[in-house]
Amino acid sequence: MKIENLINQLCKTGASIKENKIDGLLHTSGHAYKDEHEKVFQITKPKYFIPYHGAYRQSAVHGITAIEQGVKKENVIILSNGDVVELLKKEVIKIKRNEIDVGPIYIDSGIANKNTSRSIREREVLGRNGFINIIAVINKKKNEIVGRTKIISRGSIIIRDNLETINQIQKAAHGAILYTIKNNKN
């Protein structure tokens, strides 16, 4: 959707937009064609080649292109996530398979963790139901609310389409917060 918005914005400025048609003659993938890869191999003449982007199949095909362009077959190294290649004085000295434990890591409240089933469940619930966050600045010395109570909505109601509801929430929240700070002895 973001790309579509960008294209629309470019059109509004008068830009001429070229898009790929059924003939496929316009290169729009962002990845180089085989002949472009061949040109890079011809210019750089690498001793080793490690494809690093794409699925295994794509890396294997890229490796074949390297071999066709003069890289020795034993010097084409196709890695998997977690593999480590050690280089010393321009030579590959060791390939360690599955050396690094990889997989998704989730960050919750600044803590990186692999075992986050509780956090994931909470996020799934939020994704289905959304949330409304109420923010109020309180002057503790005067025991009063400073400024307006702010409402943030994610995944529940669209604020600009529900201004009346938002105003009601703000008033109710303001009253509840004011009651609490006026009646709280701390």
- 73: pLDDT strictly greater than 90: yes
Please report, for residues 121, 127, 130, 131, the alpha-carbon distance to residue 107 in angstroms, rounded to integers and kept in the order given.
14, 17, 19, 19
153 vs 76 pLDDT, higher one: 76
39's tokens: 């040109």
Which amino acid does the sequence have at 95?
A: I
Per-residue pLDDT, averaged over 156-175, amounts to: 86
Average pLDDT, the chain: 84
d(CA 155, CA 127) in angstroms, rounded, equals 7
- Each residue's pLDDT tens digit, 33-67: 889 999 999 999 999 999 988 888 889 999 999 99
- Each residue's pLDDT tens digit, 127-149: 778 888 899 999 988 889 999 88
The number of beta carbons lying within 10 Å of the beta carbon of residue 176 is 13
Contacts 24+ apart (CB under 8 A), 17-23: none
- How much is the pLDDT for 176? 92
User: 13 CB contacts (<8 Å, ≥6 apart)?
Assistant: none
Please report, for residues 134, 145, 182, the alpha-carbon distance to residue 176 in angstroms, rounded to integers and kept in the order given.
11, 11, 10
94 vs 70 pLDDT, higher one: 70
